[in-house]
Amino acid sequence: MFDLQWLLIAIPLAGAAILLTWGKEADGFGHIIGTLASAASFVLGVILFAQLLGKPEDDRSHTTTLFTWIDAGRFHVDMSFTFDQLSGLFVLLITGVGTLIHVYSIGYMEHDERRRRFFAFLNLFIAAMLTLVLAADYLVMFLGWEGVGLASYLLIGFWQHKDSAAAAAKKAFVVNRVGDLGMALAIMLMFAQFGTSAVEAVNQSIPGASQSVATAMGLLLLLGACGKSAQVPLQSWLLDAMEGPTPVSALIHAATMVTAGVYLVVRSAAVFDASEVARNAVIIVGLVTLLVGAWIGCTKDDIKKALAGSTMSQIGYMMLAAGLGPAGYAFAIFHLITHGFFKANMFLGAGSVMHGMNDDVEMRHYGALRKAMPITFATFALGYLAIIGFPGFSGFFSKDKIIETAFGENFWVGMGALIGAGVTAFYMTRLMMMTFFGDQRWKEDVHPHESPKVMTYPLIALGALSLLGGLLLLGDWIVEWLEPVVGHAEHHELGIPVWLMTVIITSTAALGVGLSYLTYGRRPIAGETPSDSSVSIWTRAGRHELYGNEINDALAVRPTRHLTRFLVWFDRMGVDGLVTGIADRLGDTSQFLRQPQTGYVRSYALMMFGGAALVLLALLAVTLA
Give 198's strand partners. Answer: 137
pLDDT band at 619 (very low <50, low <70, confident <90, very high): confident
| Average pLDDT score over the chain | 92
What pLDDT score does 511 carry? Answer: 97
Residue 254 has pLDDT above 80, yes or no: no
First CA to last CA distance, the chain: 111
Give 71's strand partners. Answer: 76
pLDDT tens per residue across span 385-396? 999 999 999 999
- With a pLDDT cut of 70, the percent of the chain lying above it is 99
Residues 6+ apart with CB under 8 A from 585: none
Report CA torsion sign: 373, 247, 236, 558.
negative
* Mean pLDDT calculated for residue range 518-527: 88
Residue 533 has pLDDT above 90, yes or no: no
CA within 13 Å, CB half, 118: 30
477 vs 605 pLDDT, higher one: 477
- Burial status of residue 505 (CB atoms within 10 A of its CB: 0-12, 13-18, 19 or more): buried
CA within 13 Å, CB half, 567: 6
- Burial status of residue 450 (CB atoms within 10 A of its CB: 0-12, 13-18, 19 or more): middle
What is d(CA 46, CA 157) in angstroms, rounded to the nearest whole number? 32
**CA 295, chain centre distance (Å):** 19
What pLDDT score does 41 carry? Answer: 97
Query: Which residue type is seen at 25?
Result: E
Q: Does residue 345 sit in helix, strand or coil?
A: helix
Contact 406, 324 (CB under 8 A): yes
Residue 403 has pLDDT above 90, yes or no: yes
**CA 472, chain centre distance (Å):** 25
Of 49-53, 513-517, 609-613, least confident by mean pLDDT is: 609-613
DSSP codes of every residue in 367-397: --HHHH-HHHHHHHHHHHHHHTT-TTSHHHH
pLDDT tens per residue across span 347-365? 999 999 999 999 999 999 9
Residues 6+ apart with CB under 8 A from 8: 41, 44, 45, 48, 91, 95, 130, 134
Q: Does residue 198 sit in helix, strand or coil?
A: strand
Contact 187, 292 (CB under 8 A): no
What pLDDT score does 256 carry? Answer: 80
pLDDT band at 2 (very low <50, low <70, confident <90, very high): confident
What pLDDT score does 37 carry? Answer: 97
Contact 97, 255 (CB under 8 A): yes
Give 454's strand partners. Answer: none
Of 42-46, 50-54, 272-276, 523-527, least confident by mean pLDDT is: 523-527
DSSP codes of every residue in 577-615: HHHHHHHHHHHHHHHHHHTT----HHHHHHHHHHHHHHH
What is d(CA 604, CA 622) in angstroms, rounded to the nearest whole number? 27
DSSP codes of every residue in 14-51: HHHHHHHHS-GGGTTTHHHHHHHHHHHHHHHHHHHHHH
Element containing residue 323 per DSSP (H, E): helix 303-323
Residue 483 has pLDDT above 80, yes or no: yes
Of 73-77, 252-256, 516-520, 558-562, least confident by mean pLDDT is: 252-256
Contact 442, 365 (CB under 8 A): yes
Residue 532 has pLDDT above 90, yes or no: no
Contact 231, 319 (CB under 8 A): yes
Residue 580 has pLDDT above 80, yes or no: yes
Of 196-205, 372-381, 418-427, 590-599, least confident by mean pLDDT is: 590-599
CA-based nearest residue to 228, from 186, 179, 163: 179
* Mean pLDDT calculated for residue range 479-497: 84
Residue 605 has pLDDT above 90, yes or no: no
What pLDDT score does 373 carry? Answer: 95
* Mean pLDDT calculated for residue range 255-273: 92
Residue 74 has pLDDT above 90, yes or no: no
pLDDT band at 279 (very low <50, low <70, confident <90, very high): very high
What pLDDT score does 500 carry? Answer: 94
What pLDDT score does 155 carry? Answer: 94
- Burial status of residue 549 (CB atoms within 10 A of its CB: 0-12, 13-18, 19 or more): middle
Contact 41, 130 (CB under 8 A): yes
CA distances from 18 to 10, 24, 51, 103, 110 (A): 12, 12, 31, 18, 20
**CA 415, chain centre distance (Å):** 27
**CA 579, chain centre distance (Å):** 46
pLDDT band at 301 (very low <50, low <70, confident <90, very high): very high
pLDDT band at 496 (very low <50, low <70, confident <90, very high): confident
* DSSP helix, strand, coil percent of the chain (3-state; round to 5): 75, 5, 20
Global pTM reads 0.90
What pLDDT score does 466 carry? Answer: 95
Quick one: DSSP state of residue 531?
Answer: P
Residue 567 has pLDDT above 90, yes or no: no
